[in-house]
Amino acid sequence: MDMKSVESKWQQRWEKTKENNFNKKDTDRKYYVLEMFSYPSGAKLHVGHWYNYGPSDTFARFKRMQGYNVFQPMGFDAFGLPAENYAIKTGIHPKDSTEQNIATMEKQLKAMGAMFDWSAEIKTCEEDYYKWTQWMFLKLYEKGLAYRKEAPVNWCPSCNTVLANEQVQEGCCERCGTPVVKKDLTQWFFKITDYAEELLAGLDTLDWPEKTKLMQKNWIGKSVGCEIEFACESGDTFKVFTTRCDTIFGVSYVVLAPEHPLVKKLTSDEQRAAVEEYIEKTAHTDEIERLSSAREKTGVFIGHCAINPVNGKKVPIYAADYVLYSYGTGAVMGVPAHDERDFAFAQKYGLPVTKVIENKNGETILPFTEDGICVNSLQFDGRFGEEARTEIANHLTKLGKGERKVNYRLRDWLVSRQRYWGAPIPVVHCPKCGIVPVPYKDLPVRLPYDVEFKPDGKSPLAKSEAFMHTKCPHCGGEARRDPDTLDTFVCSSWYYLRYADAHNAKEPFDTETVDKMLPVDKYIGGAEHACMHLLYARFFTKALRDMGYLHFDEPFRSLVHQGVILGPDGNRMSKSKGNVISPDEYISVYGSDVFRMYLMFGFSYTEGGPWNDDGIKSVAKFLERTERLVRRSFEEHGDEMPFAAAEKELNYVRNNTIRQITRDLEVFSFNTAVARLMEFVNALYKYDGIQEKSVPFLQECVKDLILLIAPFAPHFAEELWEAGGQKYSVFDQHYPVCNEKALIREETEYALQINSKIKGKLMIGKDMPREEIESLVLSSDLVKPYTEGKVVKKFIVVPGRLINIIV
RNA sequence: GCGGAUGUGGCGAAACUGGCAGACGCGCCGGACUUAGGAUCCGGUGGGUGACCAUGCAGGUUCAAAUCCUGUCAUCCGCACCA
């Protein structure tokens, strides 16, 4: 088959008949299959795109043939840094290069022959999309979920610019290699932490890979504990957070993060010089190093003491950078006997180590960090673990010195970017009115084309007077726009909603429509987004729900991660390694059906693995072999024959194939599904080769074969379907359904074991009672030599599988 | 350091709730058809080749373990002083 012409023939036909367009009127049977949209950084589709979209399309087509009204849209995550960096390097404007790339990719995606509904296409860099991204920002702002505060950002002193976290590699600027420093800037944040608990709890309701759920869970990092107030000699108080209030009698010092405001206030004159030096030093230590747990703990005594609220003991206060100001209260109680970090710190600074928890079974080696029995803890002696914590927490509450508290590791989402190629933040800074949101009617705040985006330390937009200069929407006075743009993850946090109502000019989406179309039934994309996009999108959905714009809790009910196709050398494909495989040459030789089918057959979908094209020819061979069989069978003539053993056998294989493929596709096991197709074709060849065959039956099986293969090789199947004189389109047919009766066999082959070792095979009738099996087996010539003169101790029958005789 | 995953022929990989390890294919070997085959079709293919040994390694549970348990090694991924 000349795949090239066949593929373009059917692609044109599908487009003309709008075969792939979703029928919006029939949402009862809707099935929303979504692949993570493309980032148009390179001009061409790479193997990774194919691996994401090809097999997913097979799944989508399968669902469609099962009778679902499948919606499978595609679009482009078009804002972002690579386009801007490319522009800085080459001088080509991000808008121009992005549009160019999108045009190429669209063409290639169409040539792939996937059933994308292009009528719902989205490009996030277009005004009619980012207008609504800005709308989202304003809604979150109104709801109190967007706020501004000063925060440290990554700053490259050589490039003179702010870098996104993704651009920082091992503490250095990815472009010039200069160590990145922290700089405080006022930034916009989304209050994702308000949803920490729900984001955590909701994970249980999702059909997602366990690993991904666990990653989100750890990322959110819930810890339940206690906030305890310590008073200082000066009368000032501060709180510490601990998950181990049962160790409070073992406190031998307390630590404040160097940034803690009380450090400056409480430091004694004698210690001032040392403390200031320490603070100075830690401020210059970069984040990466400071956060390394392997690093030796350092700190300094501030010359002031605090009082343990449970026993009145005076303990020294230290400033130490192993305590993070950004987590909990920025202060910690030091219990060397029962915390490894505190132990190391106490050793270094000669602080006392007081054992207050003992191991249940006697031996207690310090530091002992597990739950144990309280000792040296006054009235709480003898209490164990959780019980001790409860009692001590209650005691502290009664004293007014503590309360239970839940802390999360999750931080608010910093969305400001001092970059050009993104959606402008729709607020105005007015000298009189302060921060004023841009009125909805004035959206979008247009991203100007003519901007100097070469980095020099300022947001590129700040240099565009035409952009910056505006009137305050509130008082009408002179005002300035916000020069920052939104993180591109904001754009991708709601695109799955826009797809459902892509052309709505009045609002981002219609609530009723979205309620019907969402959640996404199957979401397919890379695992690298586990703690970013996949978390942000969940947050957006929940926030929009609370504002009444939609009425479901989770955007993606079921999620699958494809694996990664590595270079032939086993490393990640990268230009610098020179191991990048381009799909194009394979496609020009074999066509898109063969290529996608090979991706399905040669790898375990969720595993991926090193590229190897040995098998690609075999898939081409398989399709050719299939075609020969199909075409030959169409030309054959003959009468119906009695349904004898050969027909029964073929019918068994046929129905078993249907059953297995249906099962395999449901769980994205494409490689085994293709294997089943091959088995079926082999069985058809075998049947075709016999003398007395029933041609009508053969043709009936061949018809099933075409239907079965259709989701895997869509153009190929469509062509054969037409060649068989069937009516267009093969995708409007129902996928074959397994006839369970055909799978019942009169006799099944059992494995025969003596003392658990395989000795032979045996045919056993399907309804044979156990006693009969037993006597039949024991009297068979196969078994006799093993049982003669021995006692049969046990006789095990596993129905349909094996018989094990223990002698 | 913590958390998770993976480890099966020469290769890519299969194996439902423990039940015939290696489906399907690549490669290789043999045969058929051929002037020829790198096309096609058919057969064989874990190792030794005797009733034995084989799922990273060492134990354990079981009539039966790739699968469950304990320990251990290797590789990959995520988090990385979160109190």
Least confident window among A96-100, A253-257, A585-589, A784-788? A784-788
Residue the block writes with tokens 């709801």: A143
Question: 3-state DSSP call for residue A452?
Answer: coil
| A109 CA → B43 C1’, Å | 43
Residue the block writes with tokens 């950078």: A321
| A622 CA → B46 C1’, Å | 26
d(CA A684, CA A632): 12
pTM of the model: 0.92
| A760 CA → B51 C1’, Å | 12
d(CA A243, CA A245): 6
Confidence of residue A165 (pLDDT cuts 50, 70, 90): low
Confidence of residue A459 (pLDDT cuts 50, 70, 90): confident
Q: Which residues contact A161 (CB under 8 A, 6 or more apart)?
A: A155, A418, A455, A456, A457
Q: Which residues contact A471 (CB under 8 A, 6 or more apart)?
A: A477, A478, A479
d(CA A559, CA A210): 10
| A370 CA → B71 C1’, Å | 22
Confidence of residue A164 (pLDDT cuts 50, 70, 90): low
Residue A120, CB-side half-sphere exposure with 13 Å CA sphere: 24
Measured CA to C1', what is the nucleotide nearest A676? B24
Measured CA to C1', what is the nucleotide nearest A323? B81
Tokens of A536: 């942000």
DSSP characters over A124-141: TTSHHHHHHHHHHHHHHH
Measured CA to C1', what is the nucleotide nearest A750? B20
Share of chain A above pLDDT 70, in %: 96
Closest residue (CA to C1') to nucleotide B42 in the complex: A686
Query: How does pLDDT run across A778-795, given as a tens digit for each residue?
Result: 888 778 778 777 788 888
What pLDDT is attached to residue A168? 67
Residue A286 has pLDDT above 70, yes or no: no
| A722 CA → B60 C1’, Å | 61
What pLDDT is attached to residue A192? 94
Measured CA to C1', what is the nucleotide nearest A607? B6
d(CA A587, CA A33): 25
| A657 CA → B65 C1’, Å | 29
Residue A160 has pLDDT above 80, yes or no: no
CB A704 within 8 A of CB A654: yes
Query: How does pLDDT run across A428-449, given as a tens digit for each residue?
Result: 999 999 999 999 999 899 999 9
Nearest by Cα to A617 from A597, A644, A642: A597
> Taking all residues of chain A, what is their mean pLDDT, rounded to a whole number?
90
CB A665 within 8 A of CB A62: yes
Least confident window among A165-179, A349-363, A383-397, A609-623? A165-179
Host H or E run for residue A751: strand A747-754
Nearest by Cα to A21 from A498, A499, A736, A510: A499
Measured CA to C1', what is the nucleotide nearest A214? B4
Query: How does pLDDT run across A355-395, given as a tens digit for each residue?
Result: 999 887 777 888 888 888 999 999 999 999 889 999 999 99
Tokens of A661: 């493929």
Measured CA to C1', what is the nucleotide nearest A285? B81
CB A364 within 8 A of CB A372: yes
Nearest by Cα to A58 from A702, A501, A562: A562
| A759 CA → B50 C1’, Å | 14
Closest residue (CA to C1') to nucleotide B20 in the complex: A751
- Mean pLDDT over A529-537 rounds to 92
CB A385 within 8 A of CB A244: no
Position with higher pLDDT, A85 vs A620: A620
What pLDDT is attached to residue A681? 94
| A36 CA → B66 C1’, Å | 35
DSSP characters over A610-638: E---TTHHHHHHHHHHHHHHHHHHHH---
Tally Cβ neighbours within 10 Å of residue A92.
14
Cis peptide, bond prior to residue A775, ω within 30 of zero: no
**Do the bridges between strand A222-232 and strand A237-242 make them parallel or antiparallel, or are there none, so unpaired?**
antiparallel
End-to-end CA distance of chain A: 60
Measured CA to C1', what is the nucleotide nearest A612? B12
In chain B, which nucleotides are within 7 Å of a protein Cβ? 1, 3-5, 11-16, 19-21, 23-27, 39-43, 51-52, 63-65, 77-83
Query: How does pLDDT run across A681-733, given as a tens digit for each residue?
Result: 999 999 988 888 899 999 999 999 999 999 999 999 999 999 999 999 999 99
E strands present in A468-563 = 469-471, 478-481, 485-486, 522-525, 559-561
d(CA A420, CA A645): 72
Tell me chain A's radius of gyration from C-alpha atoms.
Answer: 34
- Mean pLDDT over A174-178 rounds to 69
Measured CA to C1', what is the nucleotide nearest A669? B14
| A756 CA → B66 C1’, Å | 17
d(CA A564, CA A570): 11
Tokens of A437: 């949101």
Residue the block writes with tokens 């304003």: A138
Least confident window among A137-141, A273-277, A359-363, A693-697? A359-363
Least confident window among A34-43, A328-337, A345-354, A656-665? A34-43
Closest residue (CA to C1') to nucleotide B18 in the complex: A798
Least confident window among A301-305, A453-457, A509-513, A624-628? A453-457
Distances (CA, A) of A29 to A12, A64, A69, A119, A748: 27, 10, 5, 20, 40
Tally Cβ neighbours within 10 Å of residue A562.
25
d(CA A163, CA A434): 27
What pLDDT is attached to residue A174? 66
What pLDDT is attached to residue A430? 94
Measured CA to C1', what is the nucleotide nearest A761? B20
CB A572 within 8 A of CB A530: no
Confidence of residue A213 (pLDDT cuts 50, 70, 90): very high
What pLDDT is attached to residue A289? 57
- Maximum Cα interatomic distance, chain A, rounded to a whole number of Å: 109
d(CA A181, CA A160): 11
| A70 CA → B26 C1’, Å | 35
CB A415 within 8 A of CB A140: no
What pLDDT is attached to residue A525? 94
CB A554 within 8 A of CB A520: no
Query: How does pLDDT run across A535-585, given as a tens digit for each residue?
Result: 999 999 999 999 999 999 999 999 999 999 988 888 888 887 788 888 998
Host H or E run for residue A307: strand A299-307
d(CA A341, CA A295): 11
d(CA A101, CA A61): 27
| A609 CA → B25 C1’, Å | 17
CB A711 within 8 A of CB A665: yes
Residue A673, CB-side half-sphere exposure with 13 Å CA sphere: 29
A769 burial (CB, 10 Å; 0-12 / 13-18 / 19+) is exposed
Tokens of A195: 């949803």
Confidence of residue A244 (pLDDT cuts 50, 70, 90): very high
d(CA A336, CA A347): 8
d(CA A231, CA A305): 9
**A126-137: burial string, b at 16+ Cβ within 10 Å, e else:** eeebbbbbbbbb
